[in-house]
């Protein structure tokens, strides 16, 4: 789940989900939005804003952003409703079915957005945003449905290998690997030096998927990748080859023992915690890693110990070697919202000052507006940003790119495969059938 990719303690949140859902739904229904007819600049407008900034520092940043927008647009009041990420899965269908959905809500784009689009409640922001959306570059395309902009990103994420420079040095590795063969030989060196080469949060399921998806991104050509995602069909041979290559890679035992039960971000025993505490040398993760690891270790200079390199090249791959697996966070407006105000607010969030604030204070990773990348100071994060900027194309995480049902089925099939159950056919068929049941 993309929700788990935020540094939150998902585990505890699950159990309190019902209570929180009850509280936040009552607060959202009590805050009424004005009708779309009151779009003239003088009319008072209230926008209810559901976002996943339920923990600091993002919580505080969003509140100050809403207040600052109100200061310059006195007729627009933003009601901030922070909601834990995972709850959007259950809350959005109900909200979009009701007559009173939030005016602005968290949007991860892709197939999930396309699924929500069928509710008929998502506002088409294409014409309103046409004057400024180009500032975001190709990233905004991930928030389109049928070529129209139904959501707008505020940050971008890119997946790659985070590694401990100190452990690499101790194992005698002088430069990060650029091919799978080099990665495997580096794994052997790390093992010989007494370190776990790679930490994997298999208990959270979605980190498993990154491996198979990256093999597929390297092996499939861009056109095959795009048409397969669109058709929700993975029968092209390159996907099966990805399973074959992944199987060979897993055969070298690069991960920590018991990785099937390791969570991605919760506690020092999580995969991010193993990296943070020097128990593992690498982790394949998104750029949010820099916001996750500092909380999991007492090492105050942990961010200086981390380096970043892109997923290595795979021999015989038809994909462009610079392509990256990526995604991001964004927002959608609903049809009941005052559209100019809603669009202006999303434009404000993507303006350079707010983008810089998000990077510096909220550690959101890479800004959606590349003009704010100048404030990225961490060299590892800069390397990730550069790889993203130089990428020939982006491949969105498959679980988001596919419609939700198929994407989640793929994540489960891959997690089962990592746990030794299932085969290439269970992975390939997971998206096109309900065999996962």
Partner 1 sequence: MARTQSAKAAAGRETISRPAAAGSRSPRQRRGLRKLAELTVLLAPAIVLFVGFVIVPMIFAAWYSLYNWNGFGPLSDFIGLQNYGGVLTGPVFHQAIEHNVIIAVLSVLIQLPVSIGLALLLNRRMRGRTFLRLAVFAPFVLSEATTAVMWYELLQPGGPVDALFKHLGLGGLTHYWLASTTLVLYTVFVVATWKYIGFGVVLLLAGLQGIPSELREAAAIDGATPWQATRRITLPLLGPTVRIWIFLSVIGSLQLFDLVWIMTMGGPANASTTILTYQYINGVERTQFGYGATVSVVLFVISLVFALAYQRYALRRDTEGALTRAVG
Q: Binding to partner 1 by residue 437, rule CB under 8 A? A: yes
Contacts with partner 1 in 368-407 (CB under 8 A)? 404-405
419 lies in the site for partner 1, by CB under 8 A: yes
Per CB under 8 A, the list member of 57, 93, 294, 340 interacting with partner 1 is 93
For residue 7, what is the DSSP state?
A: S
User: In a 10 Å sphere around its CB, with 0-12 CB exposed, 13-18 middle and 19+ buried, how is residue 317 labelled?
Assistant: buried
Q: How far is CA 317 from CA 177, 196, 242, in A?
A: 17, 28, 10
Residues between 262 and 301 with contacts to partner 1, criterion CB under 8 A:
262-263, 266-267, 269
Taking the least distance from each CB to partner 1, the nearer of 51 and 430 is 430
Residue 407 tokens, joined: 């994407």
Among 258, 315, 316, 353, binds partner 1 (CB under 8 A): 258
Is 19 a binder of partner 1 (CB under 8 A)? no
Buried b (16+ CB within 10 A) or exposed e, 343-374: bbbbbbbbeeebbbbbbeebbbbbbbbbebbe
Report the nearest approach of partner 1 to the CB of residue 400 (Å).
Answer: 13
Helices (H) and strands (E) counted in the chain, each on its own, are 20, 12
Does position 231 bind partner 1 by CB under 8 A?
A: no
Q: Which is nearer to partner 1, 291 or 408 (CB)?
A: 408
Q: CB under 8 A: which stretch of 8-16, 57-65, 148-156, 374-382 binds partner 1?
A: 8-16
- Mark the segment that binds partner 1 (CB under 8 A) among 140-148, 173-181, 258-266, 342-350: 258-266
253 interacts with partner 1 by CB under 8 A: no
84, 3 Cβ separation under 8 angstroms: yes
Please enumerate in sequence order all residues whose Cβ is within 8 A of that of 304, keeping only pairs 6 or more positions apart, or say none: none
Among positions 24, 54, 107, 116, the unique one binding partner 1 when judged by CB under 8 A: 116
d(CA 388, CA 366): 9
Binding residue (CB under 8 A) for partner 1 from 58, 61, 65, 96: 96
Q: What is the Cα–Cα distance from 284 to 266, expressed in whole angstroms? A: 16
Per the DSSP assignment, residues forming a β-bridge with 328 are 156
Whichever of 15 and 71 has its CB closer to partner 1, that residue is 15
Contact between 115 and partner 1 per CB under 8 A: yes
Q: Is 123 in the site for partner 1 (CB under 8 A)?
A: no
CB of 73 to partner 1, least distance (A): 31
CB of 31 to partner 1, least distance (A): 22
In the complex, least distance from residue 115 CB atom to partner 1, rounded to whole angstroms:
6
Options 64-72, 136-144, 148-156, 253-261: segment touching partner 1 (CB under 8 A): 253-261
What part of residues 183-222 is at the interface with partner 1 (CB under 8 A)?
A: 202-205
**# residues near partner 1 by CB under 8 A:** 49
Q: Which tokens go with 425?
A: 């056919």
Local structure of residue 141 (DSSP, 8 states): G
- What are residue 80's phi and psi, to 5 degrees? -85, 125
- Among the residue ranges 6-14, 102-110, 282-290, 335-343, the one whose residues contact partner 1 (CB under 8 A): 6-14
**CB-wise, 66 or 414, nearer to partner 1?**
414
- Look at residue 389 and give its three-state secondary structure: helix
Compute the least distance from the CB of residue 91 to partner 1, in Å.
10
User: Whole-angstrom distance between the N-terminal and C-terminal Cα of the chain?
Assistant: 18
CB 368 within 8 A of CB 153: yes
Residues 6+ apart with CB under 8 A from 346: 104, 125, 129, 152, 154, 331, 333
Is residue 251 a contact point for partner 1 (CB under 8 A)?
no
User: Rounded to the nearest whole angstrom, what is the least distance from the CB of residue 85 to partner 1 in the complex?
Assistant: 13
Tell me if 420 contacts partner 1 by CB under 8 A: yes
- DSSP β-bridge partners for residue 334: 122
Should residue 119 be labelled a site residue for partner 1 when binding is judged by CB under 8 A? yes
CB atoms within 10 A of CB 244: 12
CA distance 326 to 319: 15
Nearest residue to 372 (alpha-carbon basis) of 394, 351, 387, 390 = 351
Min dist. Cβ of residue 212 to partner 1 (A): 15
For partner 1, the binding residues (CB under 8 A) are: 1, 9, 11-12, 14-16, 89-90, 92-94, 96-97, 115-116, 118-120, 202-205, 256-263, 266-267, 269, 404-405, 408-409, 412, 415-416, 418-422, 434, 436-437
């Amino acid at each position: 789940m993309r929700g788990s990719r935020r540094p939150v303690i998902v585990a505890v949140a699950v159990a309190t989900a019902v209570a929180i859902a009850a509280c936040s739904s009552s607060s959202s229904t009590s805050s009424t939005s004005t009708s779309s007819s009151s779009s003239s600049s003088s009319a008072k407008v209230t926008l209810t804003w559901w976002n996943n900034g339920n923990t600091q520092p993002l919580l505080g940043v969003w509140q100050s952003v809403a207040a600052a927008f109100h200061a310059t647009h006195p007729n627009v009041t933003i009601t901030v409703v922070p909601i834990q990420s995972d709850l959007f899965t259950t809350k959005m269908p109900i909200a979009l079915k009701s007559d009173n959905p939030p005016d602005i809500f968290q949007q991860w784009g892709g197939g999930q957005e396309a699924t929500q689009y069928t509710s008929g409640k998502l506002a088409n922001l294409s014409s309103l945003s046409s004057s400024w959306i180009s500032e975001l570059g190709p990233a905004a395309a991930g928030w389109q449905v049928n070529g129209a902009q139904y959501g707008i990103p505020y940050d971008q994420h890119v997946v790659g290998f985070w590694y401990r420079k100190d452990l690499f040095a101790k194992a005698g590795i002088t430069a990060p690997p650029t091919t799978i063969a080099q990665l495997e030989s580096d794994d052997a060196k790390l093992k010989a030096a007494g370190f776990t080469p790679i930490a994997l949060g298999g208990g959270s399921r979605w980190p498993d998927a990154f491996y198979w998806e990256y093999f597929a991104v390297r092996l499939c050509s861009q056109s095959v990748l795009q048409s397969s995602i669109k058709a929700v069909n993975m029968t092209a041979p390159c996907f099966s080859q990805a399973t074959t290559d992944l199987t060979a890679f897993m055969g070298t035992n690069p991960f920590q023992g018991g990785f099937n039960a390791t969570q991605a971000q919760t506690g020092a025993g999580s995969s991010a915690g193993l990296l943070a505490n020097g128990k593992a040398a690498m982790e394949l993760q998104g750029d949010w890693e820099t916001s996750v690891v500092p909380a999991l270790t007492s090492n105050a200079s942990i961010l200086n110990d981390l380096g970043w390199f892109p997923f290595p090249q795979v021999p015989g791959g038809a994909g462009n070697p610079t392509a990256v697996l990526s995604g991001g966070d964004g927002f959608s407006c609903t049809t009941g919202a005052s559209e100019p105000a809603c669009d202006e607010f999303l434009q404000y969030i993507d303006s350079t000052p707010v983008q810089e604030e998000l990077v510096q204070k909220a550690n959101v990773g890479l800004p959606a507006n590349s003009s704010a990348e100048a404030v990225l100071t961490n060299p590892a994060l800069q390397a990730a940003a550069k790889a993203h900027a130089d990428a020939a194309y982006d491949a969105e995480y498959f679980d988001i790119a596919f419609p939700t049902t198929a994407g989640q089925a793929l994540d489960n099939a891959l997690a089962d495969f990592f746990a030794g159950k299932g085969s290439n056919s269970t992975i390939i068929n997971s998206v096109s059938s309900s065999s996962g049941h």
